Amino acid sequence: MSTGSVASDAEDYETCHRRTARKITCFNTSRYSDEELEDDALEVGIKPERKLSKAHQKDARQTQRNAANARERARMRVLSKAFSRLKTSLPWVPADTKLSKLDTLRLASSYISHLRQLLQEDRFERSFAHPVNLV
DNA sequence: TAGGCCATCTGGTCCT
DNA sequence: AGGACCAGATGGCCTA
């Protein structure tokens, strides 16, 4: 199963900008203050006066964050698709029914219980049936 | 308008 | 080290 084509990533980027007004967190490049970055640099033994490496570090960190965000979006997309598939496997639920994830989980759970009960009844009935090999 | 639901971001933890 | 998974926070959308 492939996830995260270039097109869908671009779409996600757009969606993100459309959906959220949170300028602080959405693909934000100013999440980390210079002080924080400087502390990080000091911690790994990098001289703080090197402005270029500081910028690079900031870039690298942001790039990694963006990649992690994209992976997380893809992961959640897979999860949502799984919920959709689960929903379609539920009987008595029309395809166009709006069902929350929680509802889907609850219905699936009760459907499994129902199926289990049918199975038990079936076994019970079979135990009283005539043995076929007895003529 | 409040509440429910969802998508997304984020940082932490665990695993390979 | 990097990726997967998770839970908390946040903001948008929709409906009663």
Could you read off the pLDDT of A61-107 as tens digits, one per residue? 888 888 889 889 989 988 998 998 899 899 888 877 888 898 899 89
Would you tell me which residues have their CB within 7 A of strand B? Answer: A 12, 15-16, 19-20, 25-28, 31, 65-66, 68-70, 72-73, 76-77, 80, 100-103
Q: With H, G, I as helix, E, B as strand and everything else as coil, classify residue A69.
A: helix
Smallest CA–C1' separation from A13: which nucleotide? B8
The overall pTM is greater than 0.85? no
Higher pLDDT, A131 or A115: A115
Are the C-beta atoms of residues A79 and A53 closer than 8 Å to each other? no
Are the C-beta atoms of residues A1 and A77 closer than 8 Å to each other? no
pLDDT at A95 (0 to 100): 74
Q: Is residue A118 predicted with pLDDT exceeding 90?
A: yes
What distance in Å separates the CA atoms of residue A63 and residue A76, rounded to the nearest whole number? 20
Instruction: List, for residues A12-65, the tens digit of each pLDDT value.
Output: 333 333 333 332 333 333 333 344 334 433 433 334 434 447 777 777 888 888
Nucleotides on strand C lying under 7 Å from protein C-beta: 2-7, 10-13
pLDDT at A132 (0 to 100): 58
> If pLDDT is split at 50, 70 and 90, which confidence band does A117 have?
very high
- A12 CA, C15 C1': separation in Å? 26
Q: What is the distance in angstroms between the CA of the first residue and the CA of the last residue of chain A?
A: 54
Q: Is the CB of A44 under 7 A from strand C?
A: no
DSSP per residue, A70-84: HHHHHHHHHHHHHHH
